[in-house]
Amino acid sequence: MQFRKSKMQEELYRFMTKFGEQIAKLYDGDDFWANEQFVGNSPIMIAVSEMYDYGVLGIPTGDLLPGSRLDGIHAQIEMFFRGIDTPQMRVYLDTNYTAPPPLAMLTVQIAVARMVLDGGHRYNAEAVEYEIENDDDAYLTLAEVALLAKIDERSVRNAANPKLSDPLKTEQIGKRSLVSREEARRWLTGRKGYIPTKECEGNVAQHQPEFNKKLNEKMVAIIEQESQKAGISFEEYLEKIIVSTDEGTDK
């Protein structure tokens, strides 16, 4: 499934605004939680956008680096979305006409899958769910492989058929058939929808705030708007501007 970053952000923004209204009722009507500016600049909006850059586009950013562990705000968000994706929470949300943000939830799942694929580690609570030892969570589920390949899980299961000439090899871990990160990398290489993770020198990620320090607020807002329309990250769009300017200068 392919989707634009801007669409995911809009969906998440609507959800957080409605969810904020529900939280405000628990705080005696304080509308701070539903304030548009607060929601737009909230840690969850920023962090999920980072997870899109890393998971969907393969761009290391912030604390999301190959070989690291899902932690901090990113781990909190992953647990938050797993928490709202339960029958009890859905009943609460439905009574208030609020639907969970599927694209944001999908974004987080893809980022977690790429973290494991890149030699990193899940948040410990996630490892327990998959019946994987915390010190040996170098496996992906078939669903995660499907997310990275941008195909449905049934296609991945078919590809794991041992009768094929070159099947996706799985291992039985606990009660589940999982794929080692090495095998997942091998199989994903060459898949049409798969985007390999971009390299970052010295594990120093390209991070949007670095650009904010050198550009005025108006220019940052314009670049953010145009990058969302193009469905690419802030950094990628800015790089395209710089490259096109250099090429124009050389002519």
Residues in CB range of 13: below 8 A, 6 or more apart:
39, 40, 45
pLDDT at 181: 94
Name the residue ranges covered by the structural domains of the chain. Answer: 5-206, 207-251
Model confidence band, residue 30 (pLDDT cutoffs 50, 70, 90): low
134 or 104, higher pLDDT = 104
Token readout for 226 is 């145009």
**pLDDT surpassing 80 at residue 13:** yes
**155-202 residue pLDDT tens:** 999 999 999 999 999 998 878 889 999 999 999 998 999 999 998 654
Share of the chain above pLDDT 70, in %: 75
**57-69 residue pLDDT tens:** 999 988 899 989 8
Model confidence band, residue 80 (pLDDT cutoffs 50, 70, 90): very high
The torsion angle over the Cα atoms of residues 224, 226, 229 and 231, rounded to 10 degrees, is -60
**pLDDT surpassing 80 at residue 82:** yes
149 or 212, higher pLDDT = 149
Which amino acid, residue 33? W
21 or 202, higher pLDDT = 21
Size (the chain), residues: 251
What phi and psi values does residue 195 have, to the nearest 5 degrees?
Answer: -115, 110
